[in-house]
Amino acid sequence: MSESIKIRASVQDGLATVRLRLTHPMESGLRRDPAGKSVPADFIAELEVQHQGRSVLRCDWSGGMAPNPLLAFKFKGAAKGDRLRVLWVDNRGVRSAAEAVIG
Amino acid sequence: MEMDTALNRTRRQTLRCGALAMLLAAGVLRPDEARAASRAGFEAQTLETALQALGGVVARQADIVLTTPDIAENGASVPVTATSRLPGTTELYLLVEYNPRPLVAAFAFAPGTEPEVQTLVRMAESSRVWAVVRAQGKLHAVAREVRVTLGGCGV
């Protein structure tokens, strides 16, 4: 679902700055709810960012990432109008993807 | 986990967008077997075993800049920025020493991607936070102490 991935990207002198905001509970599986029941693991396990179809960053995560993860990084060789694609899969096999244009 | 069954099982609505279905069909993320192999260290329950799983032998290194707050009021969301100045950096790992599962994240940089990430991690309690960098095949590390006033894994 694309609304689960928010992408902000800008470029200066070919260096792109990418900021991602993902909607996900990022449950480690080790937490207990207020009633004392174990909360099942539910976290984004893998995420990839592609620029014009080329992978620029791959991430493997655990439930130790904060809920609704934020991630910022930079890569070279970008231009205004280039396409970015973000894909993730969580530990339960749920997948999501979104695209954005570098502004 | 085969894709169809996984999607049928949970959050079926993820597939309602046709463009997304095409992305998924393209199979960009690694197959499950490959992913499992790349997740060495995530099950480790101590810093030491997590580092061993990443390849062991860690040299302390001043050329990694790790920025964390000295005191985190909310352990559920602690900002971390890590930058490697080591030439040939290909991967960066974030670990929280006293979390039940210390390895939090692994980042693999393609050529042209700056070896720097800015993100937020959970901290169960006050602990050292580690940034471990793989550069030219060798592991290097720095750590910073973060005091947590409200833990993030148990709350």
Q: Percent of chain A scored above 90 by pLDDT?
A: 90
Residues A66-100: tens digit of each pLDDT = 999 999 999 999 999 999 999 999 999 999 999 99
Which residues numbered 21-80 in B keep a CB inside 8 Å of some CB on A? 23-24, 28-30, 35, 38-39, 42, 76-78
Residues B110-140: tens digit of each pLDDT = 999 999 999 999 999 999 999 999 999 999 9
Residue from A15, A21, A73 whose CB has the most chain B CBs within 10 Å, to mutate:
A73
ipTM of the complex: 0.95
Whole-angstrom distance, CA of residue B155 vs CA of residue B141: 29
Of A57, A67, A94, the CB nearest to B14: A94
> Which pTM was predicted?
0.85
Residues B78-120: tens digit of each pLDDT = 999 999 999 999 999 999 999 999 999 999 999 999 999 999 9
Residues B32-50: tens digit of each pLDDT = 555 555 688 999 999 999 9
Whole-angstrom distance, CA of residue A85 vs CA of residue A64: 24
Q: How far is CA B104 from the centre of its chain?
A: 4
Whole-angstrom distance, CA of residue A40 vs CA of residue A62: 13
Of A63, A65, A72, the CB nearest to B118: A72
A79 reaches B (C-beta below 8 A): no
Confidence of residue B3 (pLDDT cuts 50, 70, 90): very low
Who contacts A63 (Cβ-Cβ below 8 Å, separation ≥6)?
A26, A27, A28, A29, A30, A41, A42, A43, A91, B101, B122
